[in-house]
A and B are shown apart, each in its own frame.
Chain A
Amino acid sequence: NAGVTQTPKFQVLKTGQSMTLQCAQDMNHNSMYWYRQDPGMGLRLIYYSASEGTTDKGEVPNGYNVSRLNKREFSLRLESAAPSQTSVYFCASSGRDRLNNEQFFGPGTRLTVL
């Protein structure tokens, strides 16, 4: 049981390049989330998927797109990377049960945009 996994762990991009961050969970969770963490700050929600087939914007969606590929996988795409997107990106999942919606996080992807 690996929990939430993310690839890659590190990435360096040049301004204008594109890339996709991958996330997978093996806990049979319904909901998945993408957050970013900037230095000295807490995490901020970029996009989330309440259930397979649905996606919604979070607090800071500009410059990103997402795809809920199936119940296990949720990807985050940067179409044209900008230096302001330098950050650590975390994926999370939860069961979306009113009695227990505890979120579990992956190890993060450290992205630098030059």
Chain B
Amino acid sequence: GIQVEQSPPDLILQEGANSTLRCNFSDSVNNLQWFHQNPWGQLINLFYIPSGTKQNGRLSATTVATERYSLLYISSSQTTDSGVYFCAVEYGDYKLSFGAGTTVTVRA
């Protein structure tokens, strides 16, 4: 199956800082999603981004499918940004393969 690697595994930020999370994948994919898992365990859809760049408020994402990676940018981080960020790639019959996640802690 497709291997999905996320880095870094853990990230500690001071409120107001910017950060970049990376997702590498081992093969061609149909699509890519970014999720935020909040401290209550809920998975929140952030981006559905097969290629190019999208922005949503302080978050933006870029996928370069030909080079098999995607980046998630968090600007002016807030404590509510804390949680685990997952990258998931769509392959085969509309299935998702998840990375292990990046745990983000934003300190006030």
Task: Find the B residue at minimum CB distance from A96.
Answer: B94
The 8 A CB mask of A35-55 against B (1 = contact, 0 = none) is 000001111110010100000
Query: Known: A42-B88, A102-B33, A103-B33. Contact between A50 and B41, CB under 8 A?
Result: no
Restricting to A56-114, which residues have a CB under 8 Å from any CB of B?
56, 58-59, 88, 90, 94, 96, 100-105, 107-108, 110
In the complex, the number of residue pairs spanning A and B with C-beta atoms less than 8 Å apart equals: 55
The answer, yes or no, to whether B69 is at the interface (CB within 8 Å) is no
Binds A, one of B13-21, B42-50, B75-83: B42-50
Question: Is there an interface contact between B90 and A101, defined as CB atoms closer than 8 Å?
Answer: yes
- Minimal beta-carbon separation of A97 from chain B (angstroms): 9
Report the separation of the CA atoms of residues A41 and B98 in the bound assembly, to the nearest whole angstrom: 9
- Minimal beta-carbon separation of B98 from chain A (angstroms): 3
- Minimal beta-carbon separation of B4 from chain A (angstroms): 7
The answer, yes or no, to whether B1 is at the interface (CB within 8 Å) is yes
Q: Which residues of B contact A (CB under 8 A)?
A: 1, 4, 30-31, 33, 35, 41-43, 45, 48, 86, 88, 90, 93-101
Report the separation of the CA atoms of residues A39 and B99 in the bound assembly, to the nearest whole angstrom: 13
Instruction: Tell me the count of chain A residues lying within 8 A, CB to CB, of chain B.
Output: 26
Report the separation of the CA atoms of residues A107 and B44 in the bound assembly, to the nearest whole angstrom: 10
Q: Which of A42, A56, A102, A104 contacts B93 (CB 8 A)?
A: A56
Query: Known: A56-B93, A100-B48. Contact between A43 and B98, CB under 8 A?
Result: yes
Question: Is there an interface contact between B98 and A105, defined as CB atoms closer than 8 Å?
Answer: no
Apart from A43-B96, A50-B93, A105-B35, list 12 A-B contacts with CB within 8 A: A31-B94, A33-B95, A41-B100, A45-B96, A58-B95, A90-B43, A96-B94, A101-B30, A103-B88, A105-B42, A105-B43, A105-B45
